[in-house]
Amino acid sequence: MKNQLMNMLEARKEEMVQIRRHLHENPELSFKEEKTAQYIIDFYKGKDVDIQTNAGNGLGVIVTIEGGKPGKTIGLRADFDALPITEETEVPFRSTNEGVMHACGHDGHTAYLLVLADCLVELKDSLSGTIKIIHQHAEETPPGGAKSIMESGVLDELDAVFGIHLFPTYPAGEIGYRSGFSMAGRTYFKLEIKGMGGHGSSPHMANDAIVAGAHFVTAVQTVISRRLNPFDMGVVTIGSFDGKGSFNVIKDCIEIEGDVRYMTAETQKLIDKEVHRIVKGIETEFGVQCELSYVPDYPPLYNDPELTGFVKNSLESMNDKDIKKVMEFPMFSGSEDFSYYAEKIPGCFFYIGCKPKGVERAYFNHHPKFDIDEDALLIAAKSVAQVVCSFGESE
Residues assigned a catalytic role: 81, 139
d(CA 242, CA 227): 27
d(CA 303, CA 177): 9
Q: Write the single-letter amino acid at 332.
A: F
Q: Write the single-letter amino acid at 115.
A: V
Cβ count within 10 A of residue 50: 12
SS (H, E, C) the chain: CHHHHHHHHHHCHHHHHHHHHHHHHCCCECCCCHHHHHHHHHHHCCCCCEEEEEECCCCEEEEEEECCEEEEEEEEEEECCEECCCCCCCCCCCCCCCCCECCCCHHHHHHHHHHHHHHHHHCHHHCEEEEEEEEECCCCCCCCCHHHHHHHCCCCCCCEEEEEEEEEEEECCEEEECCEEEECEEEEEEEEEECECEECCCHHHCECHHHHHHHHHHHHHHHHHHHCCCCCCEEEEEEEEECCCCCCEECCEEEEEEEEEECCHHHHHHHHHHHHHHHHHHHHHHCCEEEEEEEECCCCEEECHHHHHHHHHHHHCCCCCCCCEEEECCCECCCCCCHHHHHHCCEEEEEEEEECCCCCCCCCCCCCCCCCCCHHHHHHHHHHHHHHHHHHHCC
Q: Write the single-letter amino acid at 151.
A: E
CA distances from 107 to 17, 73, 104, 114, 308 (A): 10, 26, 8, 11, 25
d(CA 30, CA 159): 28
Closest CA to 292 of 283, 282, 279, 281: 279
